[in-house]
Amino acid sequence: MSCELCGETEGVPLWRSALCRVMLVKDVEYPGLCHVILNRHVKEMTDLSEGERSAFMEVVFVVESALREVMQPDKVNLASLGNMTPHLHWHVIPRYNLDKHFPNSIWGLSQRAGISHQPPELQTRLAKSIYKRLSGPT
């Protein structure tokens, strides 16, 4: 069985380390949707060492902070399901009161046609914010 996340996935790479990578997903209804993907095939958070778990989650939290800075969403959703793709990854999803599914998850029933929020130069601004936060003093 092949794993779509073990190779380079669709989307735009924003940041990468030896442990994981951040990808900006190309989704017209949810611009800013990012995946934080572990670079090796692991199914569960508890399969990681304590240090790896901490480092991986720090990247998830940095992506959330960068999205809040760049996109100013009404809410940010964090999700790690893996039922369809059992490879450790987190969805970091900026949400708006008028998006297509709010207040449901983006995988739930649509509530309205939806309004997309696309800040200018999203990819560049997001990548710079993530890099700055992850490259600064620790």
In a domain, 7, yes or no: no
Tell the burial category of 72 from Cβ atoms under 10 Å away from its Cβ (0-12, 13-18, 19+): exposed
Q: How confident is the model at residue 138 (pLDDT cuts 50, 70, 90)?
A: very low
In a domain, 71, yes or no: yes
Q: What is the pLDDT of residues 27-65, one digit of tens each?
A: 888 999 999 999 999 999 999 999 999 999 999 999 999
In a domain, 18, yes or no: yes
In a domain, 125, yes or no: yes
Q: What is the pLDDT of residues 120-130, one digit of tens each?
A: 899 999 999 99
Structural domain boundaries enclosing 17: 12-135
In a domain, 1, yes or no: no
Domain count, the chain: 1
Q: Which helix (H) or strand (E) holds 36?
A: strand 34-38
CATH number at residue 65: 3.30.428.10
In a domain, 2, yes or no: no
In a domain, 3, yes or no: no
